[in-house]
Structure 1
Amino acid sequence: MLFLLSILSLLTCQAALSPVPPDQIFQYIDDHQDEFVQRLKEWVAIESDSSDPTKRGLVDNMMQITKDFILKIGGTVEMAELGEQELSSGKKIPLPPVILAEIGNDTKKPTVCFYGHMDVQPAKKSDGWATEPYTLIEKDGNLYGRGASDDKGQVLALLNAVESVNVIGLPVNVKLVIEGMEEVGSNGLDKIVEEQKDGFFSNVDYIVVTDTPWLSKKPGITYGARGNCYFFIEVEGARRDLHSGGFGGAVYEAMSDLIFLLDTLIDSKGKILIPGIYDDVRSVTEEEKELYKDLEFNLDELQADTGAKRFLYDTKEGLLMHRWRYPSLSIHGIEGAFSGSGTKTVIPAKVIGKFSIRQVPNMDPSIVEKQVTDYLEHKFSERNSPNKIKVTMIIGAKPWLSDMNEPQYLAARKAVTRVFNVNADMIRAGGTIPIAKNFEEVLGKRVMLLGIGGPDDSTHGQNEKISKYNYIEGTKLYAAFLQELASV
């Protein structure tokens, strides 16, 4: 209480537009860190697994708890309904609502909109967790639990920051878009963004996604991500599965055709063999090359963490560029093939190969789809097999790239320097972040990814965690960002 009074006294003694020294807010955050950890413990305890329809009520409960907390810290909240989800059984269940919240509506202040999600990936201790996944455990400076990093911990750090700064008054208007279906494809979110572009989003100046990790222990700001074109190759041979004793050597086997086709996609050095696939890749600029030189990144540490015997590239710049700004092709699996233990001498009648291409600016998914389809049909014709093939692009998510000189990026860089006393690493994501591209295309606003996750947080994996340092100092980062954004 004394600390709160001292802040209010400080505020009244200053000129109306004079900013409160940031260390006052940082001290407030340090004094309340045990409370912030307790909140995360309570949120992690809710098994908001969006992939399991039987847990839909828990996802709804998590959304309600988030709403109540936003109301507690001074916000207004609309729960935007998304309708129903039809399950494979044909049964329909309600989708969890999307939170559209607002804290402050001063037309003289800029408005920043933050995006995050409250659903999590499935987790069971029997999967290999060292602890119960829905019980937050603090050990060796880390906070372990499902959702601790992705994305409950990052969203809660932001909300803790908003609460802390709001003690002396927010210098910007804050809006929040928080959903409960991100881990399964953000069902219905695109519709909400489109419907609300002239409503909730009409006065938004900046959009920030709080769901990303750093490249290393050094803070990073993400300004780009690759897209994802995901393909099925279906090869169909006989009318039914056949016995290899009776038909081996007598029929054209669908599996053999499929493996042949998969083997034509990429060489041993990772080069994609599909003609024209690199034609639209944006050239690397000298300015971009300079960014890679200063990035904090250790190949040996990555090798130890992954267990990879060797990488395709042996320099930091080479490896990161091929993770972030060049396309890649990965083969993921074969459906319809025998994969159980033991032996089975079956010749599958139909198999489906699955692979994806992570595309980059300025690649267009529709062009990639045609290039892939034409190439595979041509290669299959060379094989002269009577079997049938069908190539289908299941996902066509576009790549995303923003301008690092936009005001929110400048504010974030200043905030990183203020909190951590270092310059932020400007990084790109090798994965795909469809919501960032969607926000830009529908709303016409630049997007920034300002997360506080660590590179070893094991999101989606066993023993997910967020370091307590990242959680508390990340809260300070969001607080400093809110202050810096008001003055750019």
Structure 2
Amino acid sequence: MAGMSFSSLSALETEIFHYIEAHQSDFIEDLKEWVAVESDSVQPHLRKEVMRMMSLAAARLAVLGATVNSVSLGSQQLLNGQHLPQPPVILGELGKDPKNLTICFYGHVDVQPARREDGWKTNPYTLTEINGNLYGRGATDNKGPVLAWINAVETYRALKIAMPVNFKFVIEGMEEVGSLGLEELLEEKQGFFSDVDYIVISDNLWLSKKKPALIYGTRGNACFSVEVEGGDKDLHSGTFGGIIHEPLTDLIALLDSLVDPTGQIQIPGIYDAVAPLTDEEKKLYESTEYDIEEHKNNSGVKKLLYNTKEEILLHLWHYPSLSIHGIEGAFHEPGIKTVIPAKVIGKFSIRQVPYMELSDVKQQVVNHLENVFAKRNSPNKLKVSMPLGAKPWVTDVNDPLYKAARRAIRTVFGEDPDFIRDGSTIPIARIFQTITQKRVIMFPIGAADDGEHSQNEKISRRNYIEGTKVFAAFFLEISKLRGQSNETSNPGTK
């Protein structure tokens, strides 16, 4: 395939890559079997399918010769009081050679909801290849990458090549609903990670359609609710309009005070803890492959806030952003209803970056909104809360772990990867690093246009098969790191 010349490879790499190419149809059949399972963790009536998917994944690891422990997480209580069994978390282990380093792979096999009538051009649960793309829910998020990793391990086993590293697996089935219970399990099972040297997460995408990337940072997310309450019932605007302080008017003023038309957050102190932009990071932004027009077209908007690649990436990755998401309690159906709602709740979030502390962000938001509200002299009641907060994550691109991944990518794709951050929030990287104190790498194989969570989700045949090769090459590169410290990198170095 493009980017790789077998003549430049070692005999071992050549043998491995030839096997992967020769068996790509088998690997695609495996993905087809997994995509056919409607393992939607969001909808309660499909929980049995998630459980079935976990059993399939456990069986697949067992075939490799792994020791598999399916750890129960008990049940989940829904808002209506119903209790549902939670799918177990799979802890797998393959190889205990004390001379080898041990890498732990994290992935998930649950998916977001998908229906043909939502706009899919194919059945979302039938893997369908069109023009080299493999369409199906979960193809890229995250069944394809999980299988690519397993396929790479299987290749060594099939060729009877000694495993260059020891493997551990953490595979879950509740990622799409917040990885319920996973953090507590990782705390409880810290002994499982005692001999782990590195943790690999492949649950994200490149920034480009064709150029590989390694991710070294993600933003956090602080979700806020701001409630304004007036009387104890909705009122008629003909009877009370013009003579009372309306809660919705107060709320709109509060929301309007948060961010200006240029995207700058107007909360005092919010930028104080943002790390200065280093020359090294600035160079990474300059060298990153990024198509502004393509990003704009994919979004359907006519204009972005910034005009250059560097400015856009800086505001996606390095600086926090604030987005307003909705208002609860206000009339929103078609037609006119001349009502003054008694209580309204605005919802917004701040994607925070290193080294913004959640507690500081919360206090800054509360102080700002209370000050704005006080100036309105409103008798209504204000309540500000932060129901959800996830921390940002960043690591060092000069870490030997990232250098090993870069060499593997160069071997397979014939070029160095982009080093990028992810503007979204992926709490699992921070959770793993904090609990295990081991180095974490985010190593995607999906392309920017794969459409995770969207209609017509896909992974290309190229990315799936070359991704399998790059993981196989990564194992060899990791084996060369013996004797190097496994302590976590200094997150202040980028």
Q: Same fold (TM over 0.5)?
A: yes
Q: Secondary structure at the match of 1:78?
A: strand
One-letter amino acid of the counterpart of residue 213, structure 1: L
Q: Does the residue aligned with 2:171 lie in a helix, a strand or coil?
A: strand
Of 224, 249, 252, which aligns to 1:259? 252
Indicate which of 258, 265, 281 corresponds to 1:288.
281
Alignment partner of 2:60 out of 58, 69, 87? 69
1:210 and 2:202 equivalent? Answer: yes
The residue type paired with residue 93 of structure 1 is L
Q: Which residue of 2 aligns with 1:444?
A: 437
Of 18, 21, 30, 2:21 maps to: 30
1:393-426, Cα deviation, whole Å (9 max, x unpaired): 1111111001112222111000000000001110
Listed one character per residue, the Cα deviations across residues 120-166 of structure 1 (whole Å, up to 9, x for unaligned) are 00111111111111111100110111101100111111111111123
- Following TM superposition, by how much is the alpha carbon of 1:91 offset from its aligned partner in structure 2, in angstroms? 2.0
Q: Distance in 1 between matches of 2:94 and 2:426?
A: 26
Please state if 1:376 is matched with 2:369. yes
The residue matched to 1:280 in structure 2 has which SS? coil
**Aligned-pair identity (%):** 57
User: Any gaps of 5 or more consecutive residues in structure 2?
Assistant: 1-9, 482-494
How far does the alpha carbon of each residue in 1:8-35 deviate from its partner, in whole angstroms, 9 at most, with x for none? xxxxxxxxxxx85212111100000001
Mapping 1:355-434, distance limit 5 Å: 355-434=348-427
Distance 1:365 1:165 in 2: 44
Q: Secondary structure at the match of 2:58?
A: helix
Query: Corresponding residue for 2:38?
Result: 47
2:92 pairs with one of 85, 96, 101: 101
Aligned-partner SS, 2:200: strand
* Matching of residue 459 in structure 1 with residue 457 in structure 2: no
Which digits, 9 at most, give the CA deviation of each residue in 1:410-462, with x for residues without a partner?
11000000000001110100011111111111111121100111111111111
What is the CA deviation profile of residues 348-379 of structure 1, one whole-angstrom value per residue up to 9, with x for unaligned ones? 11111000001111110000000000110010
Say which SS state the counterpart of residue 192 (structure 2) adopts: coil
User: What value does the CA root-mean-square deviation take over the aligned residues?
Assistant: 1.0
Structure 1: give runs of 5+ residues left out of the alignment: 1-18
Structure 1 match to 2:313 = 320
Q: What residue in structure 1 maps to residue 173 of structure 2? A: 180
Distance 2:258 2:459 in 1: 38
Please report the TM-score for the alignment, with normalisation by the length of structure 1: 0.95
Q: Which residue type is aligned with residue 452 of structure 2?
A: T
| CA offsets 1:274-308 (integer angstroms, 9 cap, x no match) | 00000000001111111112111111111122122
State the 1:210 CA deviation. Answer: 1.1
Pick from 147, 166, 173 the counterpart of residue 156 of structure 1. Answer: 147
**How many corresponding residue pairs?**
469
Q: Distance in 1 between matches of 2:69 and 2:362?
A: 39
Deviation at 1:84, TM superposition (A): 1.1
Q: Specify the code of the residue in structure 2 equivalent to 1:294.
A: S
Which of 135, 139, 151 aligns to 1:144? It is 135
| TM-score, normalization by structure 2 | 0.94
Within 1, Cα distance between the matches of 2:235 and 2:38?
A: 44
Match of 1:9 in 2: none
Amino acid at match of 1:454: A
**Deviation (angstroms), 1:247:** 1.7
Supply the AA of the counterpart residue of 2:292: L
Q: Which runs of 4+ in 1 moved over 2 A?
A: none
